[in-house]
Structure 1
Amino acid sequence: MKYYLSVLAGAMSYGILSTIVVLAYGQGYQLGEVVGTQLITGFILSWMLALYTRFRAGRRAKRGLQRNEQSSASSASTVFTRLTWKQRLLLMAAGTPTVITGLVYYQSLRYIPASLAIILLFQFTWISVLIQAISKRQRPDKVTFLTLIILFGGTLLAAGFLEQGLGEFSGLGIVLGLMAAVSYSLFVLFSGKAVPSAHPAFRSAWMVTGGLILLCILFPPTFLFNGLIWSQLLVFGLLLGFFGAFIPPVLFAIGVPHIGGDMAGILGAVELPVAVLLSSFVLHEHVSGLQWFGVIIVLIGVALPELIKKIRMRRSEGQSSPLYS
C-alpha cells in the first residue's frame, strides 16, 4: 500500500505546479528563471536527502559491527552499492524528460489557461500505452481502443472544446501542451526502468542532476549572478523545486518499480482534478459543469484498463479454484 500512496502523493504534487507557475508569470518572471530555480532547489534537496540517507545507513552499519550483527551490516552496505558511471549517466539521461516537460508545459501556460494545459498534459496516459505498444510491437487490444475513445471524448468536454470551439484557444499552446504529455510519458516509463536496483534517494538525485545540466545548457542561470534569485523568485523556486523537482522523482523512484508503469499512470490521474481545482479556486479560471463532467470521464478512462484487468484476474482465479473443478 505504501508504494501506491507514494506514487499518488507524487502525482498530487505535480498538480500544484501549474498554479504556482502562472502566479510567477504574473510577477514578470521568465521561463528559464522559473524552471531554473525549480531545478536548483530540487537538486539541493535531492542530494541532501541522498547524503543524509547514506549517513544514517553508515551509522546503522557501524552499530551492527559493534554488536557483531554482521548480517545487518552487510544488508546496509548492499543497499548503497556504488553506482558505476554508466549507471549514473543512464539515470541522468532518464531525468532529462522532466526538464523538457517543465519547459514546454510551463511555456504553454503563457498561451492557454492552466485548466486546459493540465488536461493536455494528462494525455500522457494514452500516450504511455501507445509508446509501450510500439516498443513491444504489439497492437493495442480492444480495451485499449475503448479507453482511447473514452479519453478522447472526456478530453473534448474537459478542455471546453465543445462549448467554446477549438478556434478560441491558441494553437501553439495546444501543441506545447501535447508535447509536454509526450515528454511526461517518457519520464514515467524511464523512472521505473533506469537502474531500479539503486537506492531511490540516489536514483532521484542523479536524475535531477541530469535535468539540471540540460537546463543550464539551454538556459544559462544568469539569475544566480544578477541578484534576481534573492527576490520573490526564490519563493516560487522553493515551492516549484519542492513539489516539482524533489517530491515527485523521489516518490516515483520509490513506488514505480514496485507497482509498474501501467499502475503508476493510473494513479497519476489524481494530478488532473488537483490542478483543475487549484486553477479554479486560486487563479479564478472558469470551469463549467460540463468540463468537470469531462474530467470525471477522463479519470474513468484512465482507470478502466486496470479495473478490467483485475476483474479478469479474479474470474480466472475463481475458475481455477477447486470449487469450479
Structure 2
Amino acid sequence: MEQHAPFSSLLPPPQIESIVHAWLQDDMPSHFDVGGHVVGNEIKSAQLLMKSPGVLAGLPFFQKVFDVCGGCTIQWEDVSIEGTMMDASGSNKVLLATVTGPVSHLLRGERTALNTLSRCSGVATLSYQCKQIAERHNWKGMVAGTRKTTPGFRLVEKYGLLVGGCATHRLDLSQMVMLKDNHIWSAGSITKAVKKAATVAGFTQKIEVECQSLDEAIEAAEAGAHIVMLDNFEPQQLKEDAKKLKEMYPHVIVEASGGITMDSMSDYFDENVDVISQGKLTQGYDCIDFSLKILH
C-alpha cells in the first residue's frame, strides 16, 4: 500500500528525486561503501518505528530515499497517516512500515531517510501545537512559517508546516515580493520600493512590506502593498495600529512578526491581525525520534 500522505501530490517527483540524490551524495561522497560490502546484498526487512510523541510527517521523502537506493519496497501500516499526532514514547513504539530490499541498500538509505522524517515531523509537531493554540483562542487568522529554513532542506520544512496545519508563507524569493528594511533603505523609501516592485510583479504577485511603525504601514498601503508586516511590535501597540490600519485599508492583509513564539503568540491574537509568522517553526523545532531496525 502507498503511504497515507494527503499533501504528497504537491511534490513533483523529479524535484524530490533530485534532492534525494543530493542528500545521498552528501552522505556518501566517495565511491566505496565499505559498510555495504560488509553486510552484502542479501534481501532483508527492517521495521520503521516511531519512538517519541509527535505529528507524523515526511513519508514521501522517506519513500523516495529508498526508491533512489533501488531494489527496496515499503509496506506502510494503516496508522501511518501524515498529520496524525502519535503517542509514541518509551516502550510504546509505533510500527509505521516495513522496508524490504538488499540489506546494503537499506543501510545506505537508513540515516538519510530517518533524518528527513525526524525533522519534517518536528516542524509538523510544532506547527500543530501552534495551530491548536489558535483554535483554542478562537482566532481566525493563519499561523505561518518564514523563509528561515535550512539550506537544502527548504522543501521538507515547508512541507512539514502544511502537514502540521500552518501556512508556508512564501516558499522562496520568487514566490512573493517581500520588501524588508534593506530593500527600503537601498531604494530610498517605501513608496519608491513598492512602485518599482509593482512594475515587474504585475498582477500575479503580491507585494509585502516590513514596517516598523504605523506611519510606515500607511505609506506601504498607500503605495499599493497587498500585505503589511508589523514587525517587532509590542502586543498592545500591534492591536491598536492593526485596527487603525484596517479601518483605513480594509483590503490589506496585516501580518504580525518578530520574536513571536508559541508561548507568546496568544498575546498577538486580534481580529485585525490576519497572519502571525514565526521563524521558530523552521528554526527552533525539536526532532522526533525514529529508528529503522533490521529484522533478525
Q: Is the structural similarity TM-score above 0.5?
A: no
Higher helix share: 1
Query: Which is bigger in relative contact order (C-alpha 8 A, separation at least 6)?
Result: 1
* TM-score for both structures, normalised by structure 1: 0.27
Higher strand share: 2
* TM-score for both structures, normalised by structure 2: 0.29
